Amino acid sequence: MAKPDKNAPSRPVARLPKGLRDIGADELRQTQAMIETIRAVYERYGFEPLETPAFEYTDALGKFLPDQDRPNEGVFSFLDVAPEARDSKDREQWLSLRYDLTAPLARYVAENFQDLPKPFRRYATGSVFRNEKPGPGRFRQFTQFDADTVGAESVAADAEMCMLAADTMEALGFARGQYVIKVNNRKVLDGLREAVSLQGREHDARWLIVMRALDKFDRLGLDGVTALLGAGRKDESGDFTKGAELDTAAIAAVTAIFAATGGIDEKLAQLGERLKASAVGQDGLAELRTIWSLVSAAGYGDGRIAIDPSVVRGLEYYTGPVFEAELLIHAADDKGNPVRFGSVGGGGRYDDLVARFTGQKVPATGFSIGVSRLQAALNLIGRASKPAPGPVVVTVMDKDRIADYQRMVQALREAGIRAELYLGNPKKFGRQLEYADKRGAPVAVIQGTNEREAGEVILKDLIEGARAAQAITDNKEWKATRPAQVSVPEEKLVEAVRDILARHG
Amino acid sequence: MAKPDKNAPSRPVARLPKGLRDIGADELRQTQAMIETIRAVYERYGFEPLETPAFEYTDALGKFLPDQDRPNEGVFSFLDVAPEARDSKDREQWLSLRYDLTAPLARYVAENFQDLPKPFRRYATGSVFRNEKPGPGRFRQFTQFDADTVGAESVAADAEMCMLAADTMEALGFARGQYVIKVNNRKVLDGLREAVSLQGREHDARWLIVMRALDKFDRLGLDGVTALLGAGRKDESGDFTKGAELDTAAIAAVTAIFAATGGIDEKLAQLGERLKASAVGQDGLAELRTIWSLVSAAGYGDGRIAIDPSVVRGLEYYTGPVFEAELLIHAADDKGNPVRFGSVGGGGRYDDLVARFTGQKVPATGFSIGVSRLQAALNLIGRASKPAPGPVVVTVMDKDRIADYQRMVQALREAGIRAELYLGNPKKFGRQLEYADKRGAPVAVIQGTNEREAGEVILKDLIEGARAAQAITDNKEWKATRPAQVSVPEEKLVEAVRDILARHG
CATH number of the domain within which B276 lies: 3.30.930.10
User: Residues B375, B341: contact at Cβ < 8 Å?
Assistant: no
Least confident interval from A121-125, A346-350, B218-222, B449-453: B218-222
Helix ranges restricted to H, B127-216: 155-172, 186-195, 204-215
* Nearest-angstrom CA–CA distance, B393 and A244: 49
Contact B406 A93 (CB under 8 A): no
Q: What is the full DSSP assignment across B268-308? A: HHHHHHHTTT-HHHHHHHHHHHHHHHHHHHTTTTTTTEEE-
On whether any CB of chain B is under 8 Å from the CB of A13, the answer is yes
- Residues in A closer than 8 angstroms to B44, CB to CB, are 413, 416-419
Asked which of B380, B411, B426 is the last residue of a domain, the reply is B380
DSSP secondary-structure letter at B319?
-
Angle between helices A25-44 and A156-172 (to 10 degrees): 140
pLDDT at A383: 80
Q: How confident is the model at residue B110 (pLDDT cuts 50, 70, 90)?
A: very high
pLDDT at A480: 64
End-to-end CA distance of chain B: 59
**Is position B435 within any domain?**
yes
Q: Cα angle at B344 between B341 and B347, to 5 degrees?
A: 140
Give me the phi and psi of B280, to 5 degrees please.
-65, -40
* Nearest-angstrom CA–CA distance, B75 and B132: 8
Q: Helix, strand or coil for residue A397? A: coil
Neighbouring C-beta atoms of residue B492, cutoff 10 Å = 14
Among A362, A369, A370, A367, residue whose Cα is nearest residue A120: A362
**Is position B130 within any domain?**
yes
- Residues in A closer than 8 angstroms to B93, CB to CB, are 17
- Residues in A closer than 8 angstroms to B142, CB to CB, are none
- Say what the ipTM of the complex is: 0.90
User: Residues B139, B23: contact at Cβ < 8 Å?
Assistant: no
Asked which of B326, B356, B380 is the last residue of a domain, the reply is B380
Close Cβ partners of B336 (under 8 Å, ≥ 6 residues apart): none
Q: Are residue A349 and residue A497 in the same domain, yes or no? A: no
User: Residues B107, B357: contact at Cβ < 8 Å?
Assistant: yes
Between strands A443-446 and A485-489, the pairing is unpaired
Q: Are residue B373 and residue B396 in the same domain, yes or no? A: no
Q: Which residues of chain A are under the pLDDT cut of 70?
A: 1-10, 64-73, 83-86, 89-90, 315, 473-475, 477-483
Contact A18 B82 (CB under 8 A): yes
**Is position B484 within any domain?**
yes
**Is position B10 within any domain?**
no
**In the predicted model, is pLDDT for residue B332 greater than 90?**
no
- Domain total of chain B: 2
Identify residue A175 by its one-letter amino acid code.
A
Give me the phi and psi of B443, to 5 degrees please.
-140, 140
**Is position B412 within any domain?**
yes
What would you report as the CA-atom Rg of chain B, rounded to the nearest whole angstrom? 30
DSSP secondary-structure letter at B119?
S
pLDDT at B282: 96
Task: Tell me the sheet residues that pair with A146.
Answer: A124, A368
Q: Helix, strand or coil for residue B382? A: coil
Contact B403 A293 (CB under 8 A): yes
* Nearest-angstrom CA–CA distance, A291 and A309: 13
Asked which of A346, A380, A414 is the last residue of a domain, the reply is A380
**Is position B50 within any domain?**
yes
pLDDT at B475: 67
Query: Chain A window 383-412: which residues touch B at a Cβ cutoff of 8 Å?
Result: 390-391, 393, 402-403, 406-407, 410
For residues A276, A279, A280, A284, the Cα torsion angle rounded to the nearest 10 degrees is 60
On whether any CB of chain A is under 8 Å from the CB of B293, the answer is yes
On whether any CB of chain B is under 8 Å from the CB of A269, the answer is no
Q: Are residue A182 and residue A108 in the same domain, yes or no? A: yes
Distances in Å between the Cα of A387 and the Cα atoms of A24, A418, A502, B44, B411 are 11, 14, 17, 16, 35
Element (H, E) at B493: helix B493-503
User: Residues A341, A325: contact at Cβ < 8 Å?
Assistant: no
Burial of residue B301 (number of CB atoms within 10 Å: 0-12, 13-18, 19+): middle
Distances in Å between the Cα of A191 and the Cα atoms of A23, A211, A272 are 45, 13, 10
Q: Are residue A439 and residue A323 in the same domain, yes or no? A: no
pLDDT at B9: 52
On whether any CB of chain A is under 8 Å from the CB of B110, the answer is yes
Among B326, B332, B378, B369, residue whose Cα is nearest residue B27: B378
Q: Are residue A421 and residue A279 in the same domain, yes or no? A: no
Closest CB to A17 among B29, B55, B425: B55
User: Residues A326, A179: contact at Cβ < 8 Å?
Assistant: yes
Shortest CA gap A41–chain B (Å):
9
Shortest CA gap B90–chain A (Å):
10
Among A299, A471, A117, residue whose Cα is nearest residue B437: A117
Among A316, A365, A320, residue whose Cα is nearest residue A61: A316
Q: Are residue A263 and residue A348 in the same domain, yes or no? A: yes
Q: Helix, strand or coil for residue A85? A: coil
**Is position B477 within any domain?**
yes
Mutate to test the interface with B, among A57, A150, A158 (most CBs of B within 10 A): A57
* Nearest-angstrom CA–CA distance, A39 and A51: 14
DSSP secondary-structure letter at A17?
P
Helix, strand, coil shares of chain A, percent, nearest 5, are 40, 20, 35
* Nearest-angstrom CA–CA distance, B160 and B300: 11
Shortest CA gap B252–chain A (Å):
37
Residues B360-390 pLDDT 10s? 999 999 999 999 889 988 888 888 778 888 9
Q: Helix, strand or coil for residue A342? A: strand
Residues B45-86 pLDDT 10s? 999 999 999 999 988 988 765 544 444 568 888 887 776 666
* Nearest-angstrom CA–CA distance, A264 and A296: 11
CATH at A451 = 3.40.50.800
The size of the A-B interface in CB pairs under 8 A is 287
Buried b / exposed e along A349-382 (16+ C-beta atoms within 10 A)? bbbebbbbbeeeebbbbbbbbbbbbbbbbbebee
Q: Cα angle at A54 between A149 and A327, to 5 degrees?
A: 55
Among A134, A128, A131, A15, residue whose Cα is nearest residue B79: A131
Q: Which domain holds residue A459?
A: 392-503
Mutate to test the interface with A, among B1, B51, B58 (most CBs of A within 10 A): B51
User: Residues B389, B442: contact at Cβ < 8 Å?
Assistant: yes
Closest CB to B119 among A78, A121, A424: A424
pLDDT at B334: 73
Q: Helix, strand or coil for residue B389? A: coil
Q: Are residue B479 and residue B403 in the same domain, yes or no? A: yes
Close Cβ partners of A487 (under 8 Å, ≥ 6 residues apart): A451, A454, A456, A457, A458, A459
* Nearest-angstrom CA–CA distance, B390 and B153: 51
Q: Are residue B261 and residue B183 in the same domain, yes or no? A: yes
Burial of residue B354 (number of CB atoms within 10 Å: 0-12, 13-18, 19+): buried
Q: Are residue A70 and residue A170 in the same domain, yes or no? A: yes
Give me the phi and psi of A141, to 5 degrees please.
-135, 130
**Is position B224 within any domain?**
no
Q: Are residue B108 and residue B183 in the same domain, yes or no? A: yes
- Which chain B residue has its CA at the smallest distance from A33's CA? B36
Between strands A141-150 and A120-129, the pairing is antiparallel
* Nearest-angstrom CA–CA distance, B380 and B362: 40
User: Residues A338, A331: contact at Cβ < 8 Å?
Assistant: yes
Q: Are residue B164 and residue B44 in the same domain, yes or no? A: yes
What would you report as the CA-atom Rg of chain A, rounded to the nearest whole angstrom? 30
What sign has the CA pseudo-torsion B471, B474, B477, B483? positive
On whether any CB of chain A is under 8 Å from the CB of B239, the answer is no
Q: How confident is the model at residue B1 (pLDDT cuts 50, 70, 90)?
A: very low
Element (H, E) at A433: helix A429-438
Element (H, E) at A232: strand A232-234
> Higher model confidence: residue B299 or residue B6?
B299
> Strands across the sheet with B419-421, in order?
B419-421, B392-394, B443-446, B456-461, B485-489
Query: Chain B window 341-370: which residues touch A at a Cβ cutoff of 8 Å?
Result: 356-359
User: Residues A191, A197: contact at Cβ < 8 Å?
Assistant: no
Query: Does residue B119 have a cis peptide bond before it, meaning omega lies within 30 degrees of 0?
Result: yes
Query: Chain B window 421-460: which residues touch A at a Cβ cutoff of 8 Å?
Result: 421, 423-425, 435, 438-439
Q: Are residue A297 and residue A446 in the same domain, yes or no? A: no
pLDDT at A84: 65
